Structure 1
């Protein structure tokens, strides 16, 4: 499990870095207006926050999963994230509307980025959505509890 969690943690942090680089170097310079760029970052920042939290969780969880409950300080932090991430997503969406992109392609890109942030939030705090490609269609409908939520529940029981 430690190796799996290491891969998941590094993968989420790498994804955050890659999204940041792509947005900064490839996408933002090609957008037509400053409001398009602001809309892009309004959509992207919540996703980055969630990916960084997720990567940090997986790396930290290597120390306790299958050994002991999640430490209370970590559990408290992730309970707070569970609430504040909703606010961060909402603020990001408000930013998208304030700086509504001009073109259809940019609008679809910005909305897709924001929606991906919502999907990541759901995957970590509501219901597990990530499975291997070959098993995704059969397993996603089982509505499994995400590992992070299991850790939070276990930590609460151990208090």
Structure 2
């Protein structure tokens, strides 16, 4: 059953908001790290560790933003195009490798003190974003998070990939 015109319009607005939000987040994180405003960037090993954690996060956020913006075209009406599905299937396999390489970089250039907590926090956020898009849905409104996250729902991206077969 196809969604009504109003439902489809709202879905497109939601997907636009999600897509632009993810791309904005990636831009802001990269801008803050590149600006040197955070102390971990003041030392070379600290900066290398930060970028080792941040690179996977930026990649995953960019992939997510592009996904939501592209999904506006097929959501509720059609299937994800085969070429797009192929790219996201590849990302599903390659992103864990990028996360592992980032973790190796963090270990190699491990900063001390609060810098270590920041770097590890960024990497954990990247891993959570990967899980949210490719493993189990983790993102819900704050007031419903506890009730919904325990339901282990399939992420929208995975549903789209499954339908694209």
Q: TM-score range by the shorter chain?
A: over 0.9
Measure the CA separation in 1 of the matches of 2:113 and 2:99.
22
TM-score normalised per structure 1: 0.95
Q: Match of 1:19? A: 29
1:56 equivalent among 40, 49, 66: 66
TM-score normalised per structure 2: 0.91
C-alpha RMSD of the superposition: 0.9
Measure the CA separation in 1 of the matches of 2:154 and 2:85.
16
Q: Give the deviation of 1:31 after TM superposition.
A: 3.8
Runs of 4+ in structure 1 displaced over 2 angstroms? none
Q: Give the deviation of 1:64 after TM superposition.
A: 0.3
Q: Secondary structure at the match of 2:164?
A: helix
Q: Give the deviation of 1:79 after TM superposition.
A: 0.1
Aligned residues: 154
Q: Match of 1:71? A: 81
- Of stretches 18-27 and 129-138 in structure 1, the one that deviates more from structure 2 is 18-27
Measure the CA separation in 2 of the matches of 1:13 and 1:31.
23
Consecutive unaligned residues in structure 2, runs of 5 or more? 1-10
